[in-house]
């Protein structure tokens, strides 16, 4: 009976903690919950066997991602023909995969506790967690959505350390605080006090650094950029009968832009309702508009080269198309089908799966208001890819996206929440143009200065500070992720050798 009661208690506490931690992300934005929501799992990991702890970690991690990724259900329900009994399967499988990494961290904490000590295991927990997030963001193409540091996107004092260590720096601080709280439950008082003190120093340093950075004056060099959010619903976007109406909306919005005298005009991803380079008449209309307004336009379109299709951003000026960037990081199950030889049947169920070819080169456009780079759709959630453009000289970054696939769900807001970190990591302004929203101007401090809400049709023009310096993250990249991976491997190897030596001595 006691065991059943313990299992029930663990389930209630861990699943409730996972649920409220997921609500730290948009649109609920309960950003305080991640500061304590992982403490129960870490505490349980120090008093339970590794196998049981892995189960609890995996189960609670799966709950977290099921709540976080619930917006994906809209896409499968509306834009696929997946049989009803299976319609919840894709989201569950993705959540279970992501939750696996939470289970792996819990297993490591339990295993190190059993062979060394709970104090060492909790001290290493932030490294274990960041290593797991790093692996999840890189393996099999990477899926870094739900990195816990992103929950703090609106807490500007906290996220300024991204300049030093990226989003994983914020994750590390969150885990340090959770580990200290777990230590208060399971360690002797001296160990608990030491853990709380170390976490307090780290948190104070984080907030102090943030306060200093936020008090600094902004860059004086400013460019003027216009964003166009046409708000064309996905079913109408490529409908030939709707093309004339779509273009009417576009050019009506362009006339409004002209009154605001921008140096650059940014359209969303795949804004052109046709394949742009196959449509000379549309190219001419964009060219003439650019010449009349005296500003280049960045236009998203699908492009076709020798029968292969790419997701492309075209730079259009009064001379026509003068530059292009082809999307490098394609969306699995959206822009290509992984393991198509095995999973080919899925294509018949989901109309949103394309078969695109990836680009191969990060392009920095040499155009007003300053050299700028472009990341298309969810490319911007990959810090390493984003960094390539900045290292190649981009003083401004643009994100073109089309989140119309996700309707009124929290998906578009969660997507937006990752870009303040890219801004802080490189102290670069980000201009984000989304088809149905959320379009935004993001300052180098990570502040979302202005935005157009979901399905709000309009234009927005503002001055954006231009990047003037290189941060530590720009110079050396995600060093904390690699350090955490190395530290985790070293502790695991040392613990294994220690356990092997102890076993050998006992046998003798």
Q: Is the dihedral of CA 188, 191, 197, 201 positive or negative?
A: negative
Collapsing DSSP states into helix, strand and coil, what is residue 145? coil
Cα torsion angle, 452, 219, 211, 33, sign: positive
254 and 286 in contact (C-beta within 8 Å)?
Answer: no
How many Å apart are CA 4 and CA 80, to the nearest integer?
41
User: Is 327 an active-site residue?
Assistant: yes
Which of 133, 163, 269, 335 does the annotation list as catalytic?
269
Residue 425 annotated to the active site: no
Dihedral (C-alpha) 493, 106, 150, 435: value to the nearest 10 degrees? 100
Measured on CA atoms in the order 205, 207, 208, 209, is the torsion positive or negative?
Answer: positive
User: For residue 330, which of 404, 278, 382, 365 has the smallest C-alpha distance?
Assistant: 382
Q: Where are the beta strands (DSSP E) in 389-505?
A: 396-401, 430-434, 439-442, 448-452, 458-465
Q: Respond yes or no: is residue 237 known to be catalytic.
A: no
The whole-angstrom separation of Cα 65 and Cα 88 is: 13
Catalytic entry in 377, 379, 388, 425: 377
Given the residues 98, 133, 163, 327, select the one marked as catalytic: 327
Neighbours of 436 (CB within 10 A): 28
Instruction: Write out the two tokens for 351.
Output: 């109309």
**Which residues are catalytically annotated?**
269, 327, 377
């Amino acid at each position: 009976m006691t065991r059943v009661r313990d299992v029930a208690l663990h389930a209630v506490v861990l699943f409730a903690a996972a649920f409220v931690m997921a609500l730290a992300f948009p649109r609920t934005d309960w950003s305080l919950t991640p500061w304590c929501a992982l403490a129960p799992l870490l505490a349980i990991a120090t008093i339970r066997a590794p196998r049981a702890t892995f189960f609890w970690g995996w189960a609670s991690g799966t709950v977290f991602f099921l709540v976080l990724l619930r917006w994906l259900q809209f896409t499968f329900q509306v834009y696929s023909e997946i049989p009803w009994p299976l319609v919840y399967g894709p989201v569950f499988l993705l959540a279970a995969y992501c939750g696996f990494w939470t289970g792996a961290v819990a297993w490591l904490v339990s295993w190190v506790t059993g062979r060394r000590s709970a104090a060492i295991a909790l001290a290493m927990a932030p490294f274990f967690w960041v290593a797991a997030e790093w692996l999840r963001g890189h393996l099999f193409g990477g899926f870094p959505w739900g990195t816990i540091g992103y929950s703090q996107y609106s807490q500007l004092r906290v996220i300024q350390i991204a300049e030093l260590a990226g989003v994983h720096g914020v994750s590390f601080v969150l885990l340090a605080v959770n580990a200290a709280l777990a230590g208060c439950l399971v360690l002797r008082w001296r160990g608990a006090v030491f853990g709380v003190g170390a976490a307090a120093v780290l948190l104070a340093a984080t907030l102090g650094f943030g306060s200093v950075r936020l008090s600094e004056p902004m860059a004086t060099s400013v460019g003027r950029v216009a964003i166009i959010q046409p708000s064309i619903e996905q079913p109408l976007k490529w409908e030939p009968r709707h093309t004339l109406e779509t273009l009417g909306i576009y050019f009506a919005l362009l006339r409004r832009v002209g009154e605001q005298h921008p140096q650059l005009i940014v359209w969303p991803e795949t804004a052109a309702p046709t394949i742009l380079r196959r449509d000379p008449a549309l190219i001419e209309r964009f060219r003439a508009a650019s010449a009349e307004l005296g500003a280049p336009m960045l236009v998203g379109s699908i492009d076709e080269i020798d029968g292969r299709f790419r997701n492309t951003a075209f730079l259009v000026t009064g001379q026509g198309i003068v530059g292009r960037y082809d999307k490098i990081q394609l969306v699995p199950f959206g822009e290509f089908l992984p393991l198509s030889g095995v999973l080919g049947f899925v294509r018949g169920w989901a109309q949103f799966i394309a078969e695109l070819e990836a680009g191969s080169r990060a392009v920095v456009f040499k155009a007003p208001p300053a050299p700028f780079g472009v990341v298309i759709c969810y490319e911007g959630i990959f810090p390493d890819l984003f960094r390539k453009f900045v290292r190649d000289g981009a003083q401004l970054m643009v994100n073109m996206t089309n989140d119309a696939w996700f309707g009124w769900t929290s998906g578009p807001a969660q997507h937006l929440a990752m870009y303040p970190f890219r801004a802080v990591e490189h102290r670069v302004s980000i201009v984000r143009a989304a088809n149905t929203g959320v379009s935004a101007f993001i300052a180098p401090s990570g502040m979302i200065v202005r935005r157009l809400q979901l399905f709000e049709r309009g234009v927005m023009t503002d001055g954006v500070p231009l990047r003037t310096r290189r941060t530590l993250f720009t110079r050396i990249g995600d060093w904390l992720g690699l350090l955490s991976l190395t530290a985790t491997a070293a502790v695991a190897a040392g613990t294994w050798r220690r356990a092997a030596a102890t076993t050998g001595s006992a046998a003798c």
